[in-house]
Structure 1
Amino acid sequence: MQTDIDPRSLIGRKAYDRNGHKIGTVDEVYLDDATGVPEWAAVRTGLFSRDAFVPLEPSELAGDGLHVPYERALIKEAPDFGVGRHLSPEQELQLYRHYSISLPPAPHEVRDFGRLAGQDEA
């Protein structure tokens, strides 16, 4: 998805599945803790329904709607974490698995921390 879009501009937009069927309306947008890039959207799936989390990558903003490249049934079966709270790393992991998305690369480990210059690695 375009990263130059103001996440607040997504709120209130209609969301559609891969076949163009309406899923619901974007209720909230969740940013990546490390980068601040919009990562997930909570989509209200009906008047008395719950919010379903959808990945913003590889979703596309086209016209006045958010187009999510997954079937509506899969989206509606996404884990329910409620809205208005921070997503934990465990919850994000569940969402990545649900959508069969490759996990983002882990931060590079600093293996030489505390090692004196000139020492050989063991």
Structure 2
Amino acid sequence: MFEARDIREWRGHDVVDSDGHKIGSLESVYVDTTTDQAAFATVTVGLPTRRRLVFVPLAGATVGPGYVRVAHSKNVVKGAPSMGTDDVLPAEDEPALFAHYELPYQPGTGGERRLARR
């Protein structure tokens, strides 16, 4: 896997699914607060007047010339929990995000967030 500081350099590049179909553009990276490793990316999708951000896990992602390829299909990603382009992921929405991708979710020992935007 790549380091969070490296993937941030790809902001604005295309995000494609496992079959090479374009999903959208990389907006930002969220790290796992327990490891400080890149865990999810937000991808800008939708029409110019109705844009939103969807989350996609970065596990298994690879980079190529001008794109980031994620390990999930376009339909799965577009069906993921989303938010407005100026919004922040509420802590109470984190479990649903992990559940959508069938990933285990456990908040910090003090109940703190699992994801943080970097």
What TM bracket, shorter-length normalisation? Answer: 0.7 to 0.9
Contiguous gaps of at least 5 residues in structure 1: 109-122
Q: Is the 8 Å Cα contact of residues 8 and 29 (structure 1) preserved in structure 2?
A: yes
Report the counterpart of residue 68 of structure 1 in structure 2.
70
Distance 2:96 2:60 in 1: 17
Contact in 2 for aligned 1:10/1:29 (Cα 8 Å) = no
TM-score computed with the length of structure 1 as normaliser: 0.71
Structure 2, unaligned stretches of length 5 or more? Answer: 110-118
- Amino acid paired to 1:50: R
Deviations 1:95-121 (A, max 9, x none): 2211123x167879xxxxxxxxxxxxx
**Cα deviation per residue 1:14-43 (whole Å; 9 max; x = unaligned)?**
100111100010111112222221111110
Q: What is the Cα deviation at residue 58 of structure 1?
A: 2.0
Assess if the C-alpha contact under 8 Å between 1:11 and 1:28 holds in 2.
Answer: yes
Q: What residue is the counterpart of 2:88 in the other structure?
A: 85
- Kindly report the root-mean-square deviation, in angstroms, between the aligned alpha carbons of the 2 structures: 2.4
Q: Report the TM-score, using the length of structure 2 for normalisation.
A: 0.73
Between structure 1 and structure 2, the one with the greater Rg is: 1
Aligned to 1:117: none
Structure ranking higher on relative contact order (CA contacts 8 Å, 6+ apart):
2
Alignment partners' CA distance in 2, 1:18 and 1:9: 21
Aligned AA for 2:70? V
Overall identity of the aligned pairs, in %: 30
**Which amino acid is the alignment partner of residue 88 of structure 2?**
R
Higher strand share goes to which structure? 2
The separation in 2 between residues aligned to 1:57 and 1:87, in whole angstroms, is 22
Task: Give yes or no for the alignment of 1:40 onto 2:40.
Answer: yes
Q: Deviations over 1:60-103 (max 9, x none)?
A: 22222111111111111111234552552x423212211123x1
Match of 1:3 in 2: 3
